[in-house]
Structures are given as structure tokens and as C-alpha cells.
Structure 1
Amino acid sequence: MADELVVQQGIRVTNVARTIVDIARSEMFEQAVVVGDAALHRNAVTRAALAIALERARGRVGIPRAREVVRLLDGRSESVGESRSRVLMHMSGIQDVHPQGAILGPDGTIIARGDFVHDDGLVGEFDGMGKYAKHRLPGETPGDALAREKRREDAIRAAGWHVHRWTWADLHDPDRFIERFWSALEHARRHASPERQWRAT
């Protein structure tokens, strides 16, 4: 439809919502989630616009898969690695995982934010190569940033949580990623404190 077209640098292209739906219909599931998450995170598209685009594409090839992609999209994912992690969790039946959960101390104040928080007491952290450089404070050295991250993790553990980390190498080996995640989740179920607190962001 004409209102699905926009002009970018003098070239007519489909708008963001239509483009995401088309990618979800025709490309790999993981790639589509990565693109859709990024668009939602940057406020480049709304869920209402995606719903309209899905309705307009009804009957086209790949629409059932596009609907599944759109259901999984979450603008709280802050990186490609976090989006890919969510896809692997979804495909493996891991449920009750919340992106960017706020971990609370005994007095109810926020002490940290986890990439993923599981209801059973697990905080999951994706460690991309640029993570610590990206979040370095002014004047902070890489060593300072690493030490600060260690103190943050210690605080999360002290608040009653089990912390599990993974990297790009784990995402490139899905079976290993899932095996390690399930193992960490079982550990959390056995050892996490019932006093732990968190809230969605």
C-alpha cells in the first residue's frame, strides 16, 4: 500500500513495520528477531504498527512465522547477543525469563540490573566483547570497569541470586549454550535465596 512506502535519501523503501514483517516472513527466525528487537529498542517502530503490518500481509507466504517473530520481539533487548540469547531460550522451551530485570536489595532499592532474570533465582549475563568498554565511567580504566563489574556481581549474589554468564562463543554453539543454561538454572533452583527480590523494568 502507498502508506507503507517512505523516502530515505531519495529512495522509496518500505516503512519499518512493513520491512520487519517482510524480513520475518522470508529470512531466518533469529535474524528477524534481532532486527525487530533493535527497531523496538530504538523506538523506530511500535507494536501497533507491527500489528497493522501483519494484518495487511495476511495470506502472504510466511505470515505464520512472522506472527511468531512479532510475538517474541522485546525492545528491552539491548544488543544482538541478548536478542540471539532470547531466541535460543525460546526455541529450547526456557520460560519465565525477563529481560533487563532490576535486582533489589533487602531495603527494596535497586542494586543492579540483569540482562536476564529468571523467576527461579537466576540472573543471566551476556558478555559481549564491547560490554565493559561501552559502560566505562569517565576516567575509568578497563581494569577499573572490570573491578566494578566484579563488585556488582558480588552484590547480586549477596542478594540471593545465582549468576550465569555466557559469551559469543556460547551462542555459536547452541547445544552448549542450552546445556549450560539449564545446568545454571537447576543450580539456582537449589541454592537461590527465597528472600531475593526483583522487579521488571
Structure 2
Amino acid sequence: MLLLNVTYEPLTTVGLRRAVCLVLGEKAEIVHHDSGGRMLHAATVQVVTPSVIRLRRYIRIPQRNRVPLTRAALMRRDNYRCAYCGRHGETIDHVIPRSRGGTHAWENCVAACQMCNHRKADRLLSELGWTLPVAPGVPKGAHWRLIGAEFDGDPQWEAYLRTSAALFAWRTRHRAPVR
């Protein structure tokens, strides 16, 4: 289930049990029901299975300067595609090998298939005559906060994610000066 702040900003995803506990404890409200129309039954209460829930109180989230580099986040950034040949990528490759002074950073890591990663080994792209179609970079956007929370890209969440991104952009442009 997608968990939204009171401002409809996506916070994270939660399991069904946690979502129902938040709704029954009146800490959250159901914004969108599961498209299957499944119901949860208890002795005294009946609840429609939620897909998106919204907290009733605002939770302040400290803004991170950078998205942390994890294997899951890198694979999702590159859409599980090898940066060199376009096949399914299952390994991480350092564009400038660490043995040659390359860093373990967003700007130096790409997803790669095992064959390309093995063939490249600890050589530079220029030595092989290879090029990258897109330069690797740090992912940007509020939705990257969901990556570490098992984001499954549920199409029902798309409207809320789009709305929150638009709200965030508007707030950033129209922020009142600090006095």
C-alpha cells in the first residue's frame, strides 16, 4: 500500500497489516481502494482493502541531499538493462574501475550483464572502443524515496505520485523568503 502524507506527498509503502492498523486506529484514511474490491472481515468490522492511504497528521521528512547508492536503486535507475549492450543487467559495473581510481558513486556505476562485465574487466571504455549511450548520474525526484521501500510501480498510485511531484515543484518555485 502506498502511504501518503497529509499533503498527498508519497512517504513510503507499507504492508497490508500496517495499512489496516493505521486506518482502524484512525491515524490514516483510505484514499483509493484495491481495484479487486476485496474486503477484510473481522468480528465487528468490515474494511475494504486499501491501495493508497493518507495520514491524518503531517509528518515532516528531512530532505536527503543524495539518494543512497544501493544495488536495487541502481538497477531501477538503469531499468535492469545493461548500459553497454542493452540486455538484462544483473551486475554492477564501475565505468572507471576501482582498481584505477574510480569511485563507488552514482556517476561511476552502471548496470551490466555478466558477459559485458566480464569482457570489460578492469579496463577503461576507451581501451575497448565502447561508449555509454547515457552518462550515469544521480537519480532525482521525490519518488526515489520509495525505491528503498519495495516500490512495485502499482498503476493505481500513478496519479498520486504525479500530483505530489507537481506540488513539490510548485512549492519549490513559490517558497516564501525566510525572514
Structure with more of its chain in helix, by fraction: 1
TM-score, structure 2 as length reference: 0.21
The higher radius of gyration belongs to 2
Relative contact order: is structure 1 or structure 2 higher (C-alpha 8 Å, sep ≥ 6)?
2
TM-score, structure 1 as length reference: 0.20
